[in-house]
Amino acid sequence: MWLTTHCRIDFQVGLPTPFIFMLRPGSDDRQWVAEDALSVEPAVPVTEYRDTFGNRCQRLVADPGPFSIDARARVRTAASAATAPGAPFVPVPDLPASLLGYLIASRYCEADRLGDRARHLVANEWPGYDQVRRINDWIRAEIAYRPGTSNVPVSALETLARGQGVCRDLAHLGVALCRALTIPARLVVGYLHGLEPMDMHAWFEAWVGGRWYAFDPTQAEPRGGRVAIAYGHDAGDVALFTQFGPSLAPTAMTVSVERCD
């Protein structure tokens, strides 16, 4: 399916402020960005680089006053989610070396403290995809999805304690539980067609049966219509924007995803 994605963020800047944005989806073997436009107002120089995950990052310095950034893309992506019940767990010795970093506990995914819970949770599941599905279902059942309730990233343990969270928090918990089982897992931020209420979104991916599969504990069923913007160990790697200087919240943010086949 073809989707048109759009995100605009407005700021009121007090001092000249260096920013790093991650707002441009990239093309790879799972999604194809046929068109792509990014503009800033007022116009300041922008440069782009790739981080160690391959994500596209935009750098600029915003001057004092109103500042907005606007990112649009036309993207082809799978209309339905890839699922693979029974896809097997891959033992650590058989994992590609490039995936081993996705087994390590990280700031928001304290996998090293969730081993007992993770093992208990999946005790009756076939190792691999079915375990991750069980984790995803359990999060959906146990942790209330409350869009808009947290502004800063919350860790898996905190999310567990609170019993609720935004999409990113639920995804952190999914990542941490997978890693606790030595299943490689990563956080994804991007767009989801049909998300209610529409907003930037986050979900997680787990590597079973020899490839990455998307899981989304905020949704009742596996869904396609996803456009990934950035991948990382956790939210620390994939902030939509990072600013250096006095703290600065957006004054407005609009997101839309339209079908355009």
Minimum CB separation from its own copies for residue 113, in Å? 11
- Could you tell me the smallest distance in angstroms from the CB atom of residue 117 to its own copies? 16
The two structure tokens encoding residue 233: 């160990």
Nearest-approach distance from CB 150 to its own copies, in angstroms: 15
Q: State the minimum distance, in angstroms, from the CB of residue 186 to its own copies.
A: 13
Nearest approach, Cβ of 255 to its own copies (angstroms)? 20
| Chosen residue from 1, 4, 10, 61 binding its own copies by CB under 8 A | 61
Amino acid at 187: L
Note whether 150 binds its own copies by CB under 8 A.
no
Q: What are phi and psi of 101, to 5 degrees?
A: -60, -20
3-state secondary structure of 70: strand
User: Is 48 near its own copies (CB under 8 A)?
Assistant: yes
φ/ψ of residue 133, rounded to 5: -60, -40
| Rounded Cα gap, residues 126 and 160, in angstroms | 24
User: Which positions from 73 to 92 touch its own copies by CB under 8 A, shown as an x/- string?
Assistant: -x-x--------------xx
Under rule CB under 8 A, residue 20 binds its own copies: yes
d(CA 139, CA 235): 18
Footprint (CB under 8 A) of its own copies, residues 180-239 = 182, 236-237
Q: Is 34 in the site for its own copies (CB under 8 A)?
A: yes
**Of 43-51, 135-143, 165-173, 200-208: span binding its own copies (CB under 8 A):** 43-51
Q: How many amino acids of this chain bind its own copies (CB under 8 A)?
A: 45
Cis check: omega of the bond before 197, within 30 degrees of 0: yes
Measured from the CB atom, the residue of 195 and 240 that comes closer to its own copies is 240
If binding is defined by CB under 8 A, does position 107 make contact with its own copies?
Answer: yes
Pairing relationship of beta strands 32-41 and 252-259 according to DSSP bridges: unpaired
Strand, helix or coil at 121?
Answer: helix
Does 28 participate in binding its own copies (rule CB under 8 A)?
yes
Is the preceding peptide bond at 91 cis, omega within 30 degrees of 0?
no
What is the distance between the alpha carbons of residues 239 and 122, in angstroms, rounded to a whole number? 31
